[in-house]
């Protein structure tokens, strides 16, 4: 049973949690019924990974009306100031400099903090982490990850430090924190800058402290697909006064006052409508976490008994936003590869994503510029072949999640028959 516009109000198929087990999508009883072999898809609508949370629609529209009435649309407006203040309070950090997206934020930060030469980053991340550096003339040096945490391996990072290294950027992948103690120790011993790409980690904590206040600075993304969104947007957060002042200048062409430009700058500003969306998102933050948490618990329960599948777990001792449902598929035990499972899911309208395949080192320009990088990235190579992200968030219901789980279980239980059928006919050309 679906009820329109209740609670978080952004999902036309929003469910009443008390009804969560009543409406079930049909799942398959025979492999021939799989959509990939011509059967009807489990879902008549597409289930995306990263469908945006909207929050209270009427409150957002009120805020936008106020913006229009004020005729102050961008350039450090009142919504932006309120949003930045709110983030500082939520995170417990001194400065928040909101920007038009996290990629530009990272570029501005790299310039403002004086990164140069080489910066060590994980390859297992979204292209933006590496691209932002390369865009400002810095060479990203790709480091392997820890297979269990999916985060940068501080031991290998140390091996890659050279005379040209100016810093390390850790990425809190899926919102799960890096080994910050080890990275702080390492960068302090070598006199390096330590930054975090915290695009996934708004609302998460490390050892009880909110992510955002670690290293020299951290970056959040508030892209539409993120748990808190501003349509497009991001923020650099730091406890360093001088750095924050420089970031503010650089975000606005270097302007001090009306016609004095104090330094090189760009246009990295967040506009008022985006900031209004940010305020709206943050107001519904607890609801979004509750929904993500409910879906995560269900995935966890239902996937626990499926051979060859393991769900990336969140540390229950920390604050998490539960925004990413990440499965690791071991073909030897599951009987099907990640890529076959992905194609089967897509045919059923579950648009699962292979984040972050194939790893930055295998993307241009890095693939050409650093052709031997894969040799020292065995864990990255291993994971990029096995990871798949599934839909969650306020645009999917508990019943959707139950049906996705039932579908994955069905495919794995019938892996031999699926393989046999695939060997007979192959994939339809459209997949």
Tell me which residues in 59-78 interact with ligand T4K (CB under 6 A): none
Determine the Cα–Cα distance for residues 96 and 111; give it in Å rounded to an integer.
17
- Within positions 165 to 204, which residues make up the interface with ligand T4K, using CB under 6 A? 171, 197, 199-200
C-alpha–C-alpha distance, residues 413 and 87, integer Å:
46
The CA-atom distances, in angstroms, between 89 and each of 30, 96, 207, 210 are 54, 10, 18, 11
**Residues 201 and 177 sit within 8 Å (Cβ to Cβ):** yes
Distance separating alpha carbons of residues 267 and 251, to the nearest angstrom: 5
CB-wise, 170 or 265, nearer to ligand T4K?
170
Contacts with ligand T4K, 214-233, as mask; x by CB under 6 A:
-------x-xxx--------
CB of 421 to ligand T4K, least distance (A): 27
Q: Which is nearer to ligand T4K, 285 or 351 (CB)?
A: 351
**How many contiguous H segments (helices) and E segments (strands) does the chain have?**
15, 16
How far is the C-alpha of 208 from the C-alpha of 97, rounded, in Å? 23
Q: What radius of gyration do the chain's Cα atoms show?
A: 23
Q: Which among 323, 306, 301 is positioned nearest to 314, based on CA atoms? A: 323
Which secondary structure element, helix H or strand E, spans residue 389, and what is its range?
Answer: strand 387-390
Minimum CB distance to ligand T4K, residue 232 (Å): 7
The least distance separating ligand T4K from the CB of residue 223, rounded to whole angstroms, comes to 3
Could you say whether residue 308 binds ligand T4K (CB under 6 A)? no
Rank residues 50 and 265 by Cβ distance to ligand T4K and give the closer one: 50
Interface segment toward ligand T4K; rule CB under 6 A; list 62-70, 99-107, 239-247, 315-323: 99-107
Residue nearer to ligand T4K on the CB measure, 171 or 312: 171
Three-class secondary structure of residue 77 per DSSP: coil
Using the CB atoms, write b or e for 163-190: b if 16+ within 10 Å.
eebbbbbbbbbbbbbbbbebbeebbeee
Minimum CB distance to ligand T4K, residue 222 (Å): 7
d(CA 231, CA 254): 25
Nearest distance, CB of residue 220 and ligand T4K, angstroms: 8
351 contributes a contact to ligand T4K by CB under 6 A: yes
Categorise residue 92: left if φ over 0, alpha if ψ from -120 to 50, beta otherwise. left
Among 91, 98, 128, 340, binds ligand T4K (CB under 6 A): 128
Stretch that binds ligand T4K, among 62-70, 98-106, 278-286, 342-350 (CB under 6 A): 98-106
Is the Cβ of residue 221 or residue 414 nearer to ligand T4K in the bound state?
221
Output the furthest CA–CA distance in the chain (Å, rounded). 71
Cβ atoms of 227 and 249 within 8 Å: the answer is: no
CB 310 to ligand T4K: min, Å = 21
Site for ligand T4K in 40-59 (CB under 6 A): 48-52
Strands 47-48 and 350-351: parallel
Q: Site for ligand T4K (CB under 6 A): which residue of 101, 193, 381, 398?
A: 101
Least separation in angstroms between residue 199's CB and ligand T4K is 3
246 versus 353: smaller Cβ distance to ligand T4K: 353
Task: Spell out the alpha helix ranges (H) of 161-211.
Answer: 180-190
Nearest one of 289, 405, 414, 309 to 8, comparing CA atoms: 289
234 binds ligand T4K (CB under 6 A): yes
Stretch that binds ligand T4K, among 121-129, 186-194, 267-275, 339-347 (CB under 6 A): 121-129
Q: Which is nearer to ligand T4K, 93 or 100 (CB)?
A: 100
Of 11, 53, 103, 165, the one binding ligand T4K by CB under 6 A? 103
Size of the site for ligand T4K (CB under 6 A): 23
Site residues, ligand T4K (CB under 6 A): 48-52, 101-103, 125-126, 128-129, 171, 197, 199-200, 221, 223-225, 234, 351, 355
């Amino acid at each position: 049973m679906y009820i329109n516009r209740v609670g978080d109000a952004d999902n036309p198929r929003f469910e009443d949690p008390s009804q969560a087990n009543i409406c079930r999508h049909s799942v398959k009883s025979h492999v021939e019924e799989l959509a990939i072999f011509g059967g009807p898809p489990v879902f008549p609508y597409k289930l995306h990974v990263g469908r945006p949370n909207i929050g209270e629609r009427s409150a957002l529209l009120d805020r936008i009306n106020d913006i229009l009435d004020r005729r102050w649309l961008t350039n450090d407006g009142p919504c932006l100031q309120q949003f930045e203040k709110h983030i500082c309070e939520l995170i417990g950090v001194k400065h928040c400099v909101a920007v038009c997206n996290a990629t530009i934020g990272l570029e501005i930060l790299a310039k403002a903090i004086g990164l140069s030469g080489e910066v060590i980053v994980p390859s297992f991340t979204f292209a933006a982490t590496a691209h932002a550096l390369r865009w400002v003339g810095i060479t990203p040096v790709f480091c392997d990850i820890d297979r269990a945490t999916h985060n940068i391996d501080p031991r290998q990072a140390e091996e890659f430090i050279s005379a040209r290294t100016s810093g390390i950027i850790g990425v809190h992948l899926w919102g799960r924190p890096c080994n910050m103690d080890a990275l702080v120790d390492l960068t302090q011993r070598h006199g390096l800058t330590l930054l975090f790409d915290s695009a996934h980690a708004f609302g998460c904590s490390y050892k009880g402290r909110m992510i955002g206040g670690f290293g020299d600075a951290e970056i959040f993304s508030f892209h539409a697909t993120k748990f808190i969104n501003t349509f497009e947007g991001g923020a650099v957060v730091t406890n360093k006064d001088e750095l924050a002042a420089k970031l503010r200048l650089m975000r606005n062409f270097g302007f001090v006052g009306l016609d004095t430009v104090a330094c090189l700058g760009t246009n990295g500003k967040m506009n008022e409508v985006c900031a209004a969306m940010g305020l709206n998102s943050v107001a519904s933050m607890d609801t979004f976490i509750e929904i993500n948490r409910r879906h995560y618990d269900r995935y966890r329960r239902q996937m626990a008994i499926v051979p060859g599948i393991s769900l990336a777990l969140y540390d229950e001792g920390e604050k998490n936003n539960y925004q990413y449902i990440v499965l690791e598929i071991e073909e030897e035990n599951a009987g099907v590869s990640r890529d076959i499972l992905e194609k089967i899911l897509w045919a059923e309208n579950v648009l699962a994503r292979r984040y972050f395949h194939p790893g930055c080192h295998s993307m241009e320009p890095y693939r050409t510029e650093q052709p031997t990088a894969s040799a020292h990235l065995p864990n990255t190579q291993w994971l990029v072949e096995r990871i798949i992200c599934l839909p969650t968030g306020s645009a999917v219901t508990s019943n959707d999640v139950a049906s996705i789980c039932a579908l994955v279980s069905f495919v794995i239980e019938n892996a031999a028959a699926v393989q046999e059928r695939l060997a007979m006919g192959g994939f339809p050309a459209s997949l």
